């Protein structure tokens, strides 16, 4: 489902995160249980730039990783017919690579693709891009409870 077509996917219904820890601004594309694309607009107003770093603002790598995990949560929870009350818990990260810094004014396009699902454990590959340039990638695991 493309967000421009049909019903708009409400990420606030899928994710329990809220300000200041909701790190996804928009769901752009969803193929339930296959692939999802989300957007994070990085701005000087983001809370973490006050201390990371005031004279050279860079989005912390762990928050990029968290944004990728939240994107995966959307991928998984959007594919479960009755996901009300379910929460995706981030349980692991493998093959994590940070390729380039992310600065205020950048737009992160995060793509997550399902690798494996078994019972309540899901693995997916996520990539975060600024434009066409890869900023970060990882294989992530979440547990649904």
Catalytic residues: 52
Query: Phi, psi at residue 65, to the nearest 5°?
Result: -60, -40
Q: Put the strands of the sheet holding 107-118 in their side by side order.
A: 26-31, 35-41, 107-118, 121-130, 133-144, 88-98
Q: Which of 81, 87, 133 is nearest to 106 (CA)?
A: 133
**DSSP code of 9?**
P
């Amino acid at each position: 489902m493309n967000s421009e077509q049909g019903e708009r996917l409400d990420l606030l219904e899928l994710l329990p995160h809220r300000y200041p820890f909701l790190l996804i601004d928009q769901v752009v594309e969803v193929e339930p249980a296959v692939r999802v694309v989300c957007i994070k607009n990085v701005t000087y107003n983001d809370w973490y730039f006050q201390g990371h770093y005031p004279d050279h603002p860079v989005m912390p790598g762990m928050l990029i990783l968290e944004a990728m995990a939240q994107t995966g949560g959307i991928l998984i929870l959007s594919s479960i017919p009755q996901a009300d009350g379910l929460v995706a818990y981030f349980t692991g990260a493998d093959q994590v690579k940070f390729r380039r810094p992310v600065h205020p004014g950048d737009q992160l396009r995060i793509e997550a693709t399902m690798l494996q699902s078994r019972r309540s454990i899901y693995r997916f590959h996520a990539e975060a891009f600024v434009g066409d340039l890869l900023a970060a990638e990882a294989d992530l695991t979440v547990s649904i409870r």
